[in-house]
Amino acid sequence: MNDYGHIGCGIPSLAVSLYPEYRSRGIGTALMKALLAEARRSGFAVVSLSVQKKNYAYNMYVKLGFETVRETAEEYIMKKYL
């Protein structure tokens, strides 16, 4: 699917979103770690995502090893090698 976080064919683009009342509890990090583990088990070597620059989840993605591959005026497109 050629969505916002798309960086290439065969590279899954991830998306996680939480209701505000569930943020800052480690739930997003746990969900992302589970997604990364499943992607690795499924044989993927790289995953990608898009995050708005004003979204504080950007810091979580960096801590999980994502790196910015390009940016627009409003968002970062990131990838992580598994």
Question: Residue 51 and residue 39: Cα distance in Å, rounded?
Answer: 19
Q: For residue 5, tell me if it sits in a domain.
A: no
The token duo for 7 is 């960086």
Task: Identify whether 13 is part of a domain.
Answer: no
pLDDT band of 1, cuts 50, 70, 90: low
Largest CA distance in the chain: 35
Q: How far apart are CA 36 and CA 7, in angstroms?
A: 17
Residue 30 lies in a domain: yes
| Domain-located, residue 38 | yes
Encode pLDDT of 45-65 as tens digits: 999 999 999 998 999 999 999
pLDDT for residue 7 = 86
For 30, the enclosing helix (H) or strand (E) is helix 27-41
Range of the structural domain that residue 53 is part of: 20-81
Neighbours of 44 (CB within 10 A): 15
Give domain status of residue 66, yes or no: yes
pLDDT digits (tens, 9 = 90+) for 4-43: 777 878 899 998 899 999 999 999 999 999 999 999 999 9
Which pLDDT value is given to residue 19? 95
Whether 65 is in a domain gets the answer yes
Q: What's this model's pTM, rounded to 2 decimal places?
A: 0.89
CATH number at residue 25: 3.40.630.30
Number of domains making up the chain: 1
